[in-house]
Amino acid sequence: MTSLTDSERVALVNTALYEAVEQGDHATLQRLWLDSPDTEVSCVHPGWPVLRGRGEVLRSYALIMANTDYIQFFLTDVEVSVMSDTALVTCTENILSGAPAEEEGQLGPLVGQLVVATNVFRRTEDGWKVWSHHGSPVLAESDDDEPGGPEGPGDDRLAPG
């Protein structure tokens, strides 16, 4: 039997983070996040301000899980980098979620979203723990977009105000 590498262990914890949200398992989510008096955790959900502190971060996940009928993550482009007691995971979250239902007792329409995420982990005596999560929405390209993205000629979306 072969032993897992640090990168493999971090990848498993990263997957467990998303599975806990999918299953609405707040107890597991609590166990996965760093709980250290000398290190503050942080989280940025797409479109949200920075959340700092374990209590605030865990409350945000409780709110998301309580107000989401269905959510599933398909992770792609997963890259794991480990340096000493810190690990960085970047990935694309391909999210499928249930929008609010029109009628009681039914699942609302499914909505897809792409989010790029960076998850930072710290090694502890209890294994790898989530230190920070940052998710940023991927803006969908329209037919009007020029090849090469927002930096194409004539595109002033990134020009100063």
If you average pLDDT over residues 34-41, what whole number do you get? 95
C-alpha–C-alpha distance, residues 159 and 161, integer Å: 6
Among 28-32, 41-45, 108-112, 140-144, which is the least confidently predicted range? 140-144
Do residues 50 and 42 make contact, with C-beta atoms less than 8 angstroms apart? yes
Do residues 116 and 138 make contact, with C-beta atoms less than 8 angstroms apart? yes
pLDDT at 145: 53
If you average pLDDT over residues 45-54, what whole number do you get? 96
The model carries a pTM of: 0.82
Residue 153 has pLDDT above 70, yes or no: no
Residue 155 has pLDDT above 50, yes or no: no
Token output for 67: 């107000």
If you average pLDDT over residues 117-141, what whole number do you get? 95
DSSP state letter for 143 = T
Residue 69 has pLDDT above 80, yes or no: yes
pLDDT at 54: 97
> What are the angstrom distances between the C-alpha of 46 and each of 10, 63, 137?
23, 14, 6
Identify the band that residue 146 occupies on the pLDDT scale cut at 50, 70 and 90. low
Could you give the 3-state DSSP secondary structure of residue 7?
helix
Find, among 73, 66, 74, 68, the residue nearest to 99 by Cα: 68
Among 63-72, 98-107, 125-134, which is the least confidently predicted range? 98-107
Q: Which residues of 69-89 are buried (b: 16+ CB within 10 A; e: fewer)?
A: eebebebeeeebebeeeebbb
